[in-house]
């Protein structure tokens, strides 16, 4: 997907710099050309030699190198690139970018460029939430810098929280989103739901499921790559925010419904979220206490609103195309056909979520696309390939003349 694209990778000084090796490999595997700029601090974590060996290109480190400056020059470095990627983007380099400093080669190239810039932050959780970093990131976003991550997780400093650099595969997806846009869905408004919902039992306990958001987020990215104006309504997940997408974070099914209805008039809506079917009938205001010797409390459940069925209802506000998912552990296709009719949607993407398939939380998915025309069996694909294929199908469908659709 990145054939012939030129990425200038700026490697700053953080422990996550080791992930750049894999990032370079993955980018080159997609056909991109990668050239590296390494800061002094970055060179404490990875060597120019390793970056050079993997990129098969010269690594630039020194602003005042007579040979580098005469052969290439810091302006030429950015002129030659389609995209600049800062990974890891440390608190220090983000601060220097926000302040417009030009005190080393990396900062100077970033100041001199008119190309898109993608930053993959990586730092200690308290550095990330420090008011100075928050303000710097805000400033950079306003100037058009795109961010991927950081993710939540365990960090090298033995702390846990947001600050982990996105995984190389997530950075590659963000790069694809920036470099491979097409206009097949330009002017179309799309809604995607993703991830699990959480239904409170009391202030500290909830009902939820294992959805990671990988499939739904990949669909949002794929639609944005085709030029759609995408709103992604997501439950709590730990995957990178997709680039170029309006993200609305919610917790419960009620909040998801409200956010979906607030999205306005849509051309297409895709419901990949694993919405909890039930919620506690009476969530407690205070933590339910465990009383010695007393039986466990009974949990009374009540149904959640069916978001897919609500949005599928006929009417002026109904999106042109509504796509539901069916997560099944038995009778996959028969249940999906039945679900399509019951919920009133146009298509159903059916996937087997039996534990042995690893669909929930995994990287791959095997789906059947159920439409009014019949059932298509797709091969097992990476979730972003499922997403790209689905987005292409949606673009084809929305591009069809209305008379053809009315006849279906």
What are the residue numbers of the active site? 157
Among 83, 123, 137, 273, binds ligand PMT (CB under 6 A): 273
Q: CA 310, 313, 316: angle at the middle one, nearest 5?
A: 115
Among 274, 369, 370, 391, binds ligand PMT (CB under 6 A): 274
Does 347 bind ligand PMT (CB under 6 A)? Our answer is no
Stretch that binds ligand PMT, among 101-109, 116-124, 198-206, 274-282 (CB under 6 A): 274-282
Does 145 bind ligand PMT (CB under 6 A)? Our answer is no
Does 361 bind ligand PMT (CB under 6 A)? Our answer is yes
Rounded Cα distance, 395 and 272, in Å: 18
Q: Does residue 176 contact residue 148 with C-beta atoms inside 8 Å?
A: no
Does 340 bind ligand PMT (CB under 6 A)? Our answer is no
Instruction: Give alpha helix (H) positions in 122-167.
Output: 125-129, 131-142
Reference 387, options 166, 155, 194, 116; nearest CA is 194
Does 307 bind ligand PMT (CB under 6 A)? Our answer is yes
Among 19, 214, 225, 340, binds ligand PMT (CB under 6 A): 214
Among 78, 113, 215, 397, binds ligand PMT (CB under 6 A): 215
Does 351 bind ligand PMT (CB under 6 A)? Our answer is yes
Q: Does residue 300 contact residue 281 with C-beta atoms inside 8 Å?
A: yes
Nearer residue to ligand PMT within complex by CB, 73 or 358? 358
Rounded Cα distance, 164 and 146, in Å: 17
Considering the complex, what minimum distance in angstroms separates the CB of residue 237 from ligand PMT?
7
Considering the complex, what minimum distance in angstroms separates the CB of residue 378 from ligand PMT?
12
One-character DSSP codes across 196-222? B--EEEETTEEE-----SHHHHHHHHH
Q: CB burial class (10 A; 0-12, 13-18, 19+) of residue 265?
A: exposed
> What residues are paired with 207 via a beta bridge?
199
Question: What is the size of the binding site for ligand PMT (CB under 6 A)?
Answer: 29
Q: Which residues bind ligand PMT (CB under 6 A)?
A: 193, 211-216, 253, 271-275, 277, 304, 306-308, 324-327, 339, 351, 353, 359-361, 383
């Amino acid at each position: 997907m990145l054939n012939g694209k030129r990425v200038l990778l700026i490697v700053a000084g953080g422990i996550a710099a080791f992930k750049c090796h894999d990032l370079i490999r993955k980018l080159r595997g997609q056909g991109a050309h990668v050239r590296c700029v390494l800061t002094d601090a970055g060179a404490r974590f990875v060597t120019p030699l390793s970056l050079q060996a993997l990129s098969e290109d010269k690594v630039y480190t020194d602003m005042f190198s007579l040979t580098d400056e005469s052969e290439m020059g810091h302006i030429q470095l950015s002129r030659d690139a389609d995209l600049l990627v800062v990974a890891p983007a440390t608190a220090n380099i983000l601060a220097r970018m926000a302040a417009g400093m030009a005190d080393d080669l990396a900062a100077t190239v970033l100041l001199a460029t008119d190309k898109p810039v993608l930053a993959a932050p990586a730092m200690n959780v308290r550095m990330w939430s420090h008011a100075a970093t928050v303000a710097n990131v805000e400033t950079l976003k306003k100037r058009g810098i795109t961010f991927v991550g950081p993710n939540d997780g365990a960090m090298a400093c033995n702390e846990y929280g947001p600050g982990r650099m996105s995984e190389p595969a997530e950075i590659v997806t963000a790069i694809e989103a920036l470099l491979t846009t097409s206009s097949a869905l330009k002017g179309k408004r799309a809604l995607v739901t993703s991830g699990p919902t959480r239904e409170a039992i009391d202030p500290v306990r909830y009902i939820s499921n294992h959805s990671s958001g990988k499939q739904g987020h990949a669909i949002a990215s794929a639609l944005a790559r085709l030029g759609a104006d995408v709103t992604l309504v997501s439950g709590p997940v730990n995957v990178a925010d997709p680039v170029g997408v309006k993200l609305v974070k919610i917790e419960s099914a009620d909040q998801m419904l409200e956010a979906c209805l607030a999205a306005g008039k849509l051309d297409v809506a895709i419901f990949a979220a694993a919405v909890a079917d039930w919620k506690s009938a009476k969530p407690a205001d205070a933590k339910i206490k465990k009383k010695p010797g007393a039986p466990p409390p009974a949990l009374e459940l009540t149904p959640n609103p069916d978001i897919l069925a609500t949005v599928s209802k006929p009417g002026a506000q109904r999106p042109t195309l509504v796509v539901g998912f069916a997560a099944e552990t038995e009778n996959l296709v028969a249940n999906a056909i039945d679900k399509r009719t019951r919920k009133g949607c146009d298509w159903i993407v059916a996937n087997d979520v039996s534990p042995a398939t690893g669909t929930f939380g995994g990287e791959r998915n095997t789906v059947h696309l159920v439409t009014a025309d019949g059932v298509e069996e797709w091969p097992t694909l990476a979730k972003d390939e499922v997403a790209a294929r689905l987005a292409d199908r949606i673009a084809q469908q929305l591009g069809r003349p209305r008379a053809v659709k009315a006849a279906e």
